[in-house]
């Protein structure tokens, strides 16, 4: 009888104790320190539901461990803005985690940065960070002076704008047989008279290279216009730190190249799946009619009806400007086509 009881105990232990033990162990694994919480987030392509859970709540100042696993294909996991968290690839069935303290109340976004499906760009989830003293208030919007200025100027950010080239009297006489060269521009700039506006980063932000070229031509009428193009190329990447370019190139390659192409030719592997053809940043002629602030606004807000997602929830304004800076690098390297 004793033997029977022991056996029954073993069976009950297997049927009840094993599952309970598993969950207790998992709880303990997830919570090595009672003050720290672990949240498991399952990643699947958006067509199958995207992130589960897609929204998590955290208190400001709380340290949490976010554990990501993929249930279908390889995803890339990053969290922004301003956190600089990039977990890299998460393969199916594998787990990657990051322990993070969200200092300030606000909304952060975790997202996939590896092209995983046609709806890849929709693969996002949010971390709502609340102030424990004021849990109902989550800052969701903040002022963006650059976008506000564009709106005040009457620029339609959602339109397919290319400002300056078409309207400019010399716009269609420009040729880009030789790609604009930053190096040539730097040498030439030392021999030319540069208008003060062109040396002002704020001015360049809100004007097109074509408008800059007009000012430069006025002040240097004897220099061939195709030489001045190089100078404009140089001026448009002036004061861009190399580490910013490096960061932006990495970010562009992970998040933008799938559509816009790694060389900015507008012909990435997913280009044929978007509602509108992706812009070719490597097309110098096109970029000569583009403004940095408009690029900035399009990156942050996304392109209405074009399948261009918004990156405003993923990047800080400063990070966005770094990315814009890299687009000019692509333009002048002219690797399009």
Partner 1 sequence: MIKSQRINVFQYVPFLRGVLRSRLFQPVLTISTLFFFTLAIVTGLFGTPVGNRNFGIVFVWIVWWGLLIILLVPFLGRLWCAACPIPVPGEWLQRRGIINRRKGRLSTLRWKFPKRLRNMWLQNFGFLGVAIFSAIILTRPEVSAWLLLGFSLIGIILSILYENRVFCRYVCPVGGFIGLYSLMSPVEVRVQDPQVCATHTPKDCIIGNEYAYGCPWMVFPGTLERNTYCGMCMECIKACPKNNVVINLRPVGSDLMVAKERRLDEAYKAFIMLACALLYSVVLLGPWGWLKQWANMDTLPHWLAYAGVFLLANLLLLPGLFTLTALLSQRLGRIQLPLRQLVTDYAYTLVPLGLTAWIAFSFSLVFTNGSYALGVLSDPFGWGWNLFGTTESTWMPFGSALIPFLQTGILTTGMLFAVNTAYKIAGQHTPNPRQALRGMLPVTGFIMSITFAFLWLYLG
Binding site for partner 1 (CB under 8 A): 1, 3-4, 7-8, 10-11, 14-15, 18-19, 22, 25-26, 29, 40, 67, 69-72, 92-95, 97
In angstroms, give the least distance from the CB of 165 to partner 1: 47
**Closer CB to partner 1, 116 or 336, in the complex:** 116
**Closer CB to partner 1, 19 or 139, in the complex:** 19
The length of the chain in residues reads 337
In angstroms, give the least distance from the CB of 115 to partner 1: 20
Residue given tokens 């969701």 in the structure block? 140
**Closer CB to partner 1, 70 or 208, in the complex:** 70
In angstroms, give the least distance from the CB of 125 to partner 1: 18
In angstroms, give the least distance from the CB of 128 to partner 1: 24
In angstroms, give the least distance from the CB of 50 to partner 1: 14
Give kind and range of the element (H or E) at residue 240. Answer: none
User: What is the spatial distance between Cα 117 and Cα 44, in angstroms, rounded to a whole number?
Assistant: 10
In angstroms, give the least distance from the CB of 51 to partner 1: 14
Give yes or no for a contact between 264 and 335, defined as CB atoms under 8 angstroms apart: yes
How far CA 288 is from CA of 213, 291, 294, in Å, comes to 9, 8, 13
φ, ψ for residue 70, nearest 5 deg: -105, 140
User: What is the spatial distance between Cα 96 and Cα 121, in angstroms, rounded to a whole number?
Assistant: 21
Torsion angle in degrees (nearest 10) through CA of 26, 114, 248, 320: -80
**Closer CB to partner 1, 18 or 35, in the complex:** 18
**Closer CB to partner 1, 72 or 197, in the complex:** 72
User: What is the spatial distance between Cα 46 and Cα 73, in angstroms, rounded to a whole number?
Assistant: 11
Q: In what order do the strands lie in the sheet with 63-70?
A: 51-52, 37-43, 63-70, 95-101
| Residue closest to 120 by CA, chosen among 54, 41, 53, 44 | 44
User: What is the spatial distance between Cα 305 and Cα 289, in angstroms, rounded to a whole number?
Assistant: 22
**Closer CB to partner 1, 112 or 287, in the complex:** 112
In angstroms, give the least distance from the CB of 43 to partner 1: 11
DSSP per residue, 268-337: -TTGGGSSSPPP-TT-HHHHTT--HHHHHHHHHH-BTTTTB---TTTS-HHHHHHHHHHHHHHHHHT---
In angstroms, give the least distance from the CB of 35 to partner 1: 20
């Amino acid at each position: 009888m004793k033997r029977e009881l022991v056996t029954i105990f073993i069976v009950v232990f297997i049927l009840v104790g094993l599952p309970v033990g598993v969950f207790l162990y998992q709880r303990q694994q997830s919570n090595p320190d009672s003050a720290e919480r672990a949240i498991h987030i399952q990643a699947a392509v958006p067509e199958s539901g995207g992130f589960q859970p897609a929204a998590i709540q955290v208190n400001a100042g709380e340290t949490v461990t976010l554990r990501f696993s993929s249930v279908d294909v390889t995803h890339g996991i990053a969290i922004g803005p301003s956190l600089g968290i990039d977990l890299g690839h998460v393969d199916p069935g594998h787990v990657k985690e990051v322990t993070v303290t969200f200092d300030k109340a606000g909304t952060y976004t975790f997202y996939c940065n590896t092209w995983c499906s046609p709806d890849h760009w929709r693969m996002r989830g949010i971390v709502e960070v609340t102030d424990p003293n004021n849990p109902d208030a989550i800052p969701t919007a903040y002022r963006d002076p650059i976008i506000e200025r564009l709106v005040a100027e009457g620029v339609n950010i959602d339109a397919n704008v290319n400002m300056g080239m078409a309207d400019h009297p010399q716009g269609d006489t420009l040729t880009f047989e030789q790609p604009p060269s930053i190096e040539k521009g730097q040498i030439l700039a030392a021999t030319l008279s540069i208008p003060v506006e062109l040396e002002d980063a704020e001015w360049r932000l809100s004007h097109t290279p074509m408008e800059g070229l007009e000012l430069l031509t006025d002040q240097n009428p004897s220099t061939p216009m195709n030489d001045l193009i190089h100078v404009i190329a140089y001026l448009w990447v002036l004061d861009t730190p190399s580490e910013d370019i490096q960061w932006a190139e990495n970010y562009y390659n992970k998040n933008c190249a799938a559509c816009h192409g790694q060389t900015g030719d507008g012909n990435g592997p997913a280009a044929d799946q978007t509602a509108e053809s992706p812009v070719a940043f490597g097309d110098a002629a096109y970029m000569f009619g583009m403004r940095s602030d408009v690029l900035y606004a399009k990156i942050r807000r996304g392109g209405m009806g074009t399948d261009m997602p918004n990156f405003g929830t993923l990047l800080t304004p400063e990070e966005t400007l770094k990315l814009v800076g890299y687009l000019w690098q692509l333009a002048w390297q002219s690797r399009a086509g």
